[in-house]
Amino acid sequence: MNIFLTYDYELFFGKSAGSVDKCMIEPTNELLKIAKEFKVKMTFFVDIGYLIKLKEFLPAYPELQLDDSKVRKQLAHILEEGHDIQLHIHPHWEKSYYENGKWVFVTENAYKLADFNEEEIKRIVVSYKNILDEIVGYKTTAFRAGGWCIQPFHKLNAIFQEVGIKYDSSVFPGGSFSSTDYSFDFTKAPTKSHYSFEDDECQEVENGPFIEYPISSRRYSPIFYWRLYILGRLFPSQHKMIGDGDFLAQPGRKQSVLTNFTWNHISTDGYYASKLEETLNSFEQNNTEDLVVIGHPKGMTLFSLKATKKFISKAHTKHVFRTFKELI
């Protein structure tokens, strides 16, 4: 089996962005230590919009220089260790700004690429990708949409082909969500390890120009989420996120997951990491070709770091840990 360990490298986008140290630097360093111990590679989907905004506001706010330096140094270290960096776009950076010592996020009509017109989408994708390619020293070919907001994909088709994006990993089959700022619906996505598509990321098209490597998913029971919330209160030192910011609001989601069976991704974040080994065993029994795991350095906990390490220690001798750069 091919195992893709993928991490969205970013701040939070709620009332508080959190700090670079806690959301990115410290947890990523812990992940890199684990990867080095077991000689496995990871893919980091880097929120390049953040680095662009850092450069924009540096002249007026010199304190941002330290954050910029830390992030760029860590990205260089990630590459030195042989890991992969690919494109992650949160377009709300276009309207967000830094003021009075903090980032102010404008997400209304700006959280999805589809919120922008055709000309703006092209400018964002081309400029963001070119800057990331310059930083990493190679042509990135894989994409993950911020907030999983890849839809409607037909607005991105032509520009992605133009800039050389071939692989997407934004879909997690069965998942859906809708709020004021963003939405996605993957309930009709193929339940395959990977598949080709063209105008619709949830519709397989033979020999389509793009290949979807969906984030692996499963059905979670309300009991799982009750345990998550209870353990967080009983053992906060183990289950508190390392990241120190706030999530963008998801109205109604907490009540929904506590009262209904829901589909969600396979993840190394927090208590989700408790399902890694169980999912791997299930995929092995079904002879599944690929397991794509999502994570966020900001969402790691002491518990999830231990669970991730245990998962990798058991899997690395039997399976191949791959990155998207290797698919070229």
Residue 260: what are its φ and ψ, rounded to 5°?
Answer: -140, 155
Residue 152, preceding peptide bond in cis (omega within 30° of 0): yes
| Domains held by the chain: number | 1
Q: Does residue 224 surpass a pLDDT of 80? A: yes
What per-residue confidence (pLDDT) applies to 249?
81
At 28, is the pLDDT very low, low, confident or very high (cuts 50, 70, 90)? Answer: very high
Cβ neighbours around 192 below 10 Å, total = 14
Residue 90: what are its φ and ψ, rounded to 5°?
Answer: -110, 95
What is the residue range of 234's domain? 2-327
* Tokens coding 92: 């709300």
Compute the average pLDDT of residues 221-225: 96
Q: Please report which helix (H) or strand (E) contains residue 143, including its range.
A: strand 142-145
What per-residue confidence (pLDDT) applies to 287?
93
What per-residue confidence (pLDDT) applies to 101?
95
Q: Does residue 301 surpass a pLDDT of 90? A: yes
CA neighbor of 136 nearest in space, from 53, 58, 64, 46: 46
Burial of 255 (0-12, 13-18, 19+ CB in 10 A): exposed
Compute the average pLDDT of residues 283-308: 97
What per-residue confidence (pLDDT) applies to 233?
94
Pairing of strands 320-321, 2-9: parallel
What per-residue confidence (pLDDT) applies to 252?
81
CATH of the domain at 240: 3.20.20.370
Q: Does residue 328 surpass a pLDDT of 90? A: no
Contact indicator for 10, 25 with CB cutoff of 8 Å: no
pTM assigned to the model: 0.97
Cα separation, 214 vs 32, whole angstroms:
23
Contact indicator for 295, 306 with CB cutoff of 8 Å: no
Task: Report the percent of the chain where pLDDT is more than 90.
Answer: 95
Across 75-79, 251-255, 290-294, least confident range:
251-255
Compute the average pLDDT of residues 189-207: 97
Q: Does residue 253 surpass a pLDDT of 90? A: no
Compute the average pLDDT of residues 41-64: 97
Q: Does residue 304 surpass a pLDDT of 90? A: yes
Across 25-39, 221-235, 249-263, least confident range:
249-263
pLDDT one-digit tens code per residue, 161-186: 999 999 999 999 999 999 888 899 99
What per-residue confidence (pLDDT) applies to 181?
86
| Amino acid residing at 101 | G
What per-residue confidence (pLDDT) applies to 251?
82
What per-residue confidence (pLDDT) applies to 216?
98
Q: Does residue 151 surpass a pLDDT of 80? A: yes
Nearest-5° Cα angle at 96, 125 to 28: 75
Q: Considering the chain, what is the average pLDDT of its residues?
A: 96
